[in-house]
Amino acid sequence: MSGTIEQDLLAESQYVSRLYDRLDELRAEKVQQLARTRATGAVGTFQNQSERDSFASLYEDRIAQLDAVQDRLVFGRLDLAEQGEAQAESNGAGNSPRYIGRIGLSDEELNRLMIDWRASEAAPFYQATALNPRGVRRRRHLMLKGRTVAGIEDDVLDGTWLDEGHTHHGEGALMAALREKRTGRMGDIVGTIQAEQDAIIRADLPGAVVVQGGPGTGKTAVALHRAAFLLYEYRERLKHAGVLIVGPSNSFMRYIERVLPSLGETGVVMSSVGELYHGVHAGPETARNVARVKGRLSMAKVIGAAVRNRQRLLAEDRTVVVEGTRLTLTRGMVRNARERARHTHKPYNEARETFTKVIVGDLAEQLRRKLEESAGQPSAADRSYLPQEVRESWDVRVAINLCWMPMTPQGLLSELFAKPHLLEAAAPRMSPADRDALFRPAGSPFTEADVPLLDEAAELLGEFVNPQDLPDTSQYERDVENAKRALDNMDTMLANAGIDGVVTAEQVAAVNQETAASASAAERAVSDRTWAYGHIVVDEAQELSPMQWRLLVRRCPMKSFTIVGDIAQTSAASGANSWAQALEPFFADRYKLEELTVNYRTPAQIADAAVRVAQAAGLRITTPQAVREGDWPPVITTVGKGELIQSLIEQLPDELEYSAGGLQAVIVPQELLAAARAAVTELYTERVGTGSGGLAQDIVVISARESKGLEFDGVMIVEPALLVAEVDGGVGDLYVAMTRTTQRLHVIHNQPLPAGFTEA
Ligand SMILES: Nc1ncnc2c1ncn2[C@@H]1O[C@H](COP(=O)(O)OP(=O)(O)OP(=O)(O)O)[C@@H](O)[C@H]1O
């Protein structure tokens, strides 16, 4: 059953190579099928063509998936105790070992070669313990280098096997994984998921799960693996509705973007909080008081009032001229039309149709009476054209727009913050100081804190139809026009394919519409604000304001959420002080709170210092147990006034040597950021990045806020006291910065260090 390590490595390598052969075979099959499908060309009925397109994209997706899982395709093996016959048959593999990998693989005869890590049969790989072995005799981790097995780590749970020596040991699969250099892109942890993490990953789909955990406890990793698990376990349900993953910033989204594809899952929608309103790329809200005000739930009422206030009454009756006849639009007519429009309970832009119809009807009636009066007698003549004349009158259009102007969310918000009288009318109970804080000139860029306000406005305003826009039917006509032009260019191509005059411009236009209709759930979800997702994963969730929560809950009415974060790391002015405070308005007490307790990232010596700083400032934190002691305590360099940047430049080369090809971060207060970046860039030019770092950039100079959620082999922090001062004296950001490192922390300071930094 077990030989020398060399024999076992060889045997395992042979099996692994069989798995890769099978993967190659499947890939080649799909490539062939794709080529055959494409070769059928642009002929046949449109149904045929759209079927062909769907097949082609199916094959493309499968090829992409097979490519993405190549790296460390298989990572585990389970040897199980004797099973009952029925069970042995049902898993088709008798008592032969189960190999656990990124996807499931079977041979041509449908014998299972490898089990997807998400399948229930794979669960013992993560959950079996000596106390509860769940039928597992031996859990084996396979460490691959390319396509061969370079290392084996055994975990024997059966006493007799232990005695017989069926075991190989090294430093441990987990430790080996943690020792890896950081690349600036998060990797998956599928081979070493720990039991407490696995329990959360495999929790049921319905309801909200909140995962609280200190720094480095694997919250992000767990959230992403959970998304992959849900997409596997509830594929049918989630295939159409999709899964949305929300994180704090674009650089964070870049940091995590490769994890799901490496688990064989694409098609998930990923968005930072600033990108949640389609078409707006919002930057951070830097003014903390503004973020605080905009994040309050009461802003929903303010937006509601702002929309209602745009339905105006007339101050006095107004004369309008229709085809030379003077008519009177009375205040009463407008009030009545507004009541009827409001009664439809439709969004503002749609209710405007009712408002317009009522006004036009009343004025057309007035016009009819006037025409008859001037003719001196009632007439049976057809007057059905009158409403059209009224509708087209310039005066009438101006008057209607004065009372009920079509609005975009962007337009509404821009004006609301640029015109103090509008804000005062919409928010009479807001303090003047808060109203002043919201003021900004029209056309200013939108910020993250505006995103939920835009969404709120969109909800209340409904579809915006620009009166100057052509009606819907003309879109089709424009498509036909485009297609006609495209067809001119396609003539030769069609002739080559032996098709002459078979495809018409109308048919090409119809194909465009088909394509739009068959876009994947993910593609459609991104652009459709009213899309209801099947599940939402929120990372760094402690930072979300109540208004941001409101937006997210609207995007998933079923309230199926995975929410991960650390209350102690809150730095946003409108973020949460407790999960109960953040979630109760939306979930009441219907959420399950889980906790992660082991810090996999930061060595104990550094994590302890971070904990002391947090506790000295009175922050209530959970203190996870660090899995490694680490080689270095925090290094502290004290410098004279004005020498911070100079010292940074002097110390950086040593730190780069320590991180030896890994990723080095320099975390700097906002006010020193530009100077630090310039100085470091002068020395290291293109090695310096600003975001999470990439393969080409191994030094990043960033603010504490930007470092949220990321990790580096080495971290330098410049002037901690300023990091604290810039967030109103909170130590949350400093706590975050200190816990970003996997190896070394070096602090350069001039001002006194915050309490707790050094051991008393
Ligand atoms: N079971 C595991 N096996 C291997 N590595 C792990 C495991 N769990 C976590 N890690 C690693 O620990 C590091 C921290 O994980 P992650 O970023 O998910 O933590 P976090 O709780 O989100 O941290 P923070 O709140 O500080 O941003 C990552 O490098 C991750 O890959």
Atom of ligand 1 nearest to the CA of 710: 27
- As for ligand 1, residues whose beta carbon falls within 6 Å of it are 174, 177-178, 189, 192-194, 197, 213, 215-221, 566, 600-601, 709, 711, 739
106 Cα–ligand 1 center, Å? 32
d(CA 521, CA 512): 17
pLDDT at 210 exceeding the cut of 90: yes
Read off the pLDDT band of 559 (50, 70, 90). very high
Instruction: Give the 3-state DSSP-derived string for 511-531, with helices as H, strands as E and coil as C.
Output: HHHHHHHHCCHHHHHHHCCCC
Mutating to test ligand 1, I would choose from 125, 175, 178, 540 the residue with most ligand atoms within 8 A of its C-beta, which is 178
Tell me the mean pLDDT in the region 329-348: 96
Q: Whose CA is nearest to atom 25 of ligand 1?
A: 215
Q: Whose CA is nearest to atom 30 of ligand 1?
A: 218
pLDDT at 537 exceeding the cut of 90: yes
Tell me the mean pLDDT in the region 470-495: 43
pLDDT at 250 exceeding the cut of 90: no
- Please indicate if the annotation marks 4 as binding a ligand: no
Q: Whose CA is nearest to atom 24 of ligand 1?
A: 215
* Token pair belonging to 445: 């860029």
433 Cα–ligand 1 center, Å? 42
For residues 96 and 29, the model is more confident at: 29
- Please indicate if the annotation marks 219 as binding a ligand: yes
* Token pair belonging to 137: 């005799």
Q: Whose CA is nearest to atom 29 of ligand 1?
A: 601
Atom of ligand 1 nearest to the CA of 540: 25
488 Cα–ligand 1 center, Å? 56
Read off the pLDDT band of 757 (50, 70, 90). confident
The least confident of 166-180, 376-390, 496-510 is 496-510
pLDDT at 88 exceeding the cut of 80: no
229 Cα–ligand 1 center, Å? 17
Q: How far is CA 529 from the centre of its chain?
A: 14
Tell me the mean pLDDT in the region 280-307: 94
Is beta strand 598-599 parallel, antiparallel or unpaired with respect to 591-596?
Answer: unpaired
- Please indicate if the annotation marks 216 as binding a ligand: yes
pLDDT for 560 equals 94
- Please indicate if the annotation marks 220 as binding a ligand: yes
The phi, psi pair for 604, rounded to 5°, reads -55, -40
pLDDT at 87 exceeding the cut of 60: no
Q: What is the largest CA-CA distance in the chain?
A: 116
709 Cα–ligand 1 center, Å? 9
716 Cα–ligand 1 center, Å? 20
Q: Whose CA is nearest to atom 26 of ligand 1?
A: 215
pTM as predicted = 0.85
Cα separation values, 751 from 475, 518, 576, 643, 738, Å: 64, 60, 29, 11, 17
pLDDT at 54 exceeding the cut of 90: no
221 Cα–ligand 1 center, Å? 6
Mutating to test ligand 1, I would choose from 220, 225, 627 the residue with most ligand atoms within 8 A of its C-beta, which is 220
* Token pair belonging to 557: 């009415």
* Token pair belonging to 655: 């730190």
Length of the chain: 760
d(CA 310, CA 406): 9
Atom of ligand 1 nearest to the CA of 217: 21
Helices (H), 529-603: 546-555, 579-587
Atom of ligand 1 nearest to the CA of 539: 22
d(CA 159, CA 574): 55
pLDDT at 52 exceeding the cut of 60: yes
187 Cα–ligand 1 center, Å? 9
pLDDT for 267 equals 78
- Please indicate if the annotation marks 575 as binding a ligand: no
pLDDT for 530 equals 79
Per-residue burial over 380-405, b = 16 or more CB atoms within 10 Å of its CB, e = otherwise: eeeeeebbebbbebebbeebbeebbb
The least confident of 289-293, 550-554, 598-602, 661-665 is 661-665
Read off the pLDDT band of 498 (50, 70, 90). very low
pLDDT for 399 equals 94
Read off the pLDDT band of 561 (50, 70, 90). very high
pLDDT at 41 exceeding the cut of 90: no
Task: Give per-residue pLDDT as tens, 709-738.
Answer: 999 999 999 999 999 998 877 888 999 999
Q: Whose CA is nearest to atom 1 of ligand 1?
A: 193
Q: Whose CA is nearest to atom 18 of ligand 1?
A: 218
The least confident of 21-25, 184-188, 655-659 is 184-188
For residues 511 and 335, the model is more confident at: 335
d(CA 591, CA 210): 7
598 Cα–ligand 1 center, Å? 9
For residues 697 and 488, the model is more confident at: 697
Tell me the mean pLDDT in the region 11-38: 94
d(CA 602, CA 72): 25
Read off the pLDDT band of 42 (50, 70, 90). low
The least confident of 459-468, 494-503, 571-580, 638-647 is 494-503
Tell me the mean pLDDT in the region 373-394: 82
115 Cα–ligand 1 center, Å? 25
Atom of ligand 1 nearest to the CA of 600: 12
d(CA 580, CA 591): 10
Q: Whose CA is nearest to atom 27 of ligand 1?
A: 709
pLDDT for 46 equals 64
* Token pair belonging to 533: 């997702």
- Please indicate if the annotation marks 214 as binding a ligand: yes
pLDDT for 520 equals 63
Task: Give per-residue pLDDT as tens, 97-116.
Answer: 999 999 999 999 999 999 99
Atom of ligand 1 nearest to the CA of 740: 26
pLDDT for 691 equals 62
Atom of ligand 1 nearest to the CA of 188: 31
E strand or H helix at 665 = strand 664-667
Tally Cβ neighbours within 10 Å of residue 323: 11
Q: Whose CA is nearest to atom 8 of ligand 1?
A: 218
581 Cα–ligand 1 center, Å? 26
218 Cα–ligand 1 center, Å? 3
pLDDT for 93 equals 43
Average pLDDT, the chain: 86
The phi, psi pair for 633, rounded to 5°, reads -75, 170
Per the CB < 8 A criterion, the answer to whether 140 and 125 are in contact is no
Mutating to test ligand 1, I would choose from 571, 600, 625 the residue with most ligand atoms within 8 A of its C-beta, which is 600
pLDDT for 388 equals 92
Tell me the mean pLDDT in the region 501-509: 42
pLDDT at 512 exceeding the cut of 60: no
Read off the pLDDT band of 473 (50, 70, 90). very low
751 Cα–ligand 1 center, Å? 32
pLDDT at 622 exceeding the cut of 80: no
pLDDT over 70 percentage in the chain: 87
**Burial classification of residue 143, based on how many CB atoms lie within 10 Å of its CB (0-12 exposed, 13-18 middle, 19 or more buried):** middle
Name the DSSP letter for residue 275: G
pLDDT at 497 exceeding the cut of 60: no
- Please indicate if the annotation marks 534 as binding a ligand: no
Atom of ligand 1 nearest to the CA of 569: 25
Atom of ligand 1 nearest to the CA of 739: 26
Atom of ligand 1 nearest to the CA of 709: 27
DSSP letters spanning 452-508 = HHHHHHHHHH-----TTSPPTHHHHHHHHHHHHHHHHHHHHHHHHTT-SS-S-HHHH
Sign of CA dihedral 373, 375, 379, 384: negative
Atom of ligand 1 nearest to the CA of 197: 1
174 Cα–ligand 1 center, Å? 11
pLDDT at 482 exceeding the cut of 50: no
